[in-house]
Structure 1
Amino acid sequence: MSVDIRICSSQSDIEAIARLANEIWQEHFTPIIGAGQVAYMVEKFQSVHAIADAVNNQGYRYYMAFENGELIGYCGVQPQQNELFLSKLYLRKDCRGRGISKQLLAEAVAYCKQLGHPSIYLTVNKHNDNTIAIYQRMGFTIDDAVVSDIGNGYVMDDYIMRLLIGKRGK
């Protein structure tokens, strides 16, 4: 099946991303960080309001992956001073393991090159083992670890991973 990728460009796109984000976060992250933190983080980072603010005010670009006209995943990136921040890369559970993450990452890499940045970095929960392994297979390396207070008594306990674009030959 063919996957179409396009850039988020409307309020309805933002709403579709937020709906999918809620579905994915409930399924994937509840066992890792618990239902309370999932609910808090979805509202803070993945809600319609948060995504609209990211796109309209913070310079984020969202790539949306569609299969047969249905949104199945997305990737959110934000240009920073000397590199690209890969803030979000999520796929619906039934679509994982089919190379779609690589397609979304290829869009981020192309954008990173367009900006003239030498690398992409991301943060990933230290206990999200399968995702860490996937990023490592894509060429990311663990550079650091960080614990960030995100409010409401919650923290993000993450690795910082980085992909050097030039070393990948892309």
Structure 2
Amino acid sequence: MDITFKLVTTDKEIELVDQLAHQIWNEHYIPIIGKDQVDYMLDKFQNFKVMKDQLSEGFVYYLIQQNDASVGYIGYKIENQDLFLSKLYLLNAQRGKGQGQQSLRFIFEEARKHQLNGVKLTVNKYNEIAIKAYEKYGFEVVDEVVADIGQGYVMDDFILYKPV
């Protein structure tokens, strides 16, 4: 099923990304990091105010849409000569249908459009489904990082990279 990508520019669209974040994170991440950390990370990193501030600082969000319904979202920023893919999230019902692959093709089109060297991302070390999907698309683990995000929580991630 084909999807389209809608650039997020309005407050209404930011609110929609906020709603999707809460739904997707609660569907997917509770078994990986627990509900308390999910709630903390949503409050700290994925709320309307944070996203609005990010947009004003050059961060880019896209809604992933299918038949005019929003089924996920992408968030990225340009760092040095790479596109840093900070967010690629789909509703559980949309996974396994090729939409992640279509989204990655779109991301690489964005990287080429900006004449960047590659795409870099971080993924939780225990998010096996996402790791397999990224590796299938040609990403390689280049490093790992444990980042203290406050309140006793850490992000325990692999850093993946794929040249354009």
What's the TM-score once normalised by structure 2's chain length?
0.96
Shift of 1:2: 3.8
CA distance in 2, matches of 1:164, 1:8: 26
Match of residue 155 from structure 2: 156
Partner of 1:41: 41
Q: Is the 8 A contact 1:63 1:107 kept in 2?
A: no
SS in 2 for 1:31: helix
- TM superposition shift of 1:94: 0.4
Residue ranges of structure 2 left out of the alignment (5+ in a row): none
State the Cα deviation string for residues 41-88 of structure 1 (Å, max 9, x = none).
Answer: 01111111111111112x111121112221101111100112110000
* Counterpart position of 1:168: none
Q: 1: distance between equivalents of 2:75 and 2:160? A: 16
Task: Quote the Cα distance in structure 2 between the aligned partners of 1:105 and 1:76.
Answer: 12
Q: Counterparts of 1:130 and 1:67 in 2: how far apart (Å)?
A: 22
1:70 counterpart residue number:
69
* One-letter amino acid matched to 2:105: A
Match of 1:83 in 2: 82
Instruction: Show the counterpart of 2:50.
Output: 50
Q: Deviations over 1:119-156 (max 9, x none)?
A: 11000000001110000011100001110011111100
Q: Is the contact between residue 2 and residue 99 of structure 2 (CA under 8 Å) also seen in structure 1?
A: no
CA shift for structure 1 position 103? 1.8
> Which stretch shifts more, 156-165 or 106-115?
106-115
Q: Distance in 1 between matches of 2:118 and 2:52?
A: 26
Length, aligned pairs only = 164
Task: After superposing the two structures, state which structure 1 stretch, 4-13 or 23-32, moved more.
Answer: 4-13
Q: Secondary structure of 1:24's match?
A: helix
Matched residue of 2:116: which SS?
Answer: coil
Q: Is the CA contact 1:76–1:87 (under 8 Å) kept in the aligned structure 2? A: yes
Which whole-Å CA distance do the structure 2 matches of 1:46 and 1:145 have between them? 22
Q: Which residue of 1 aligns with 2:4?
A: 4
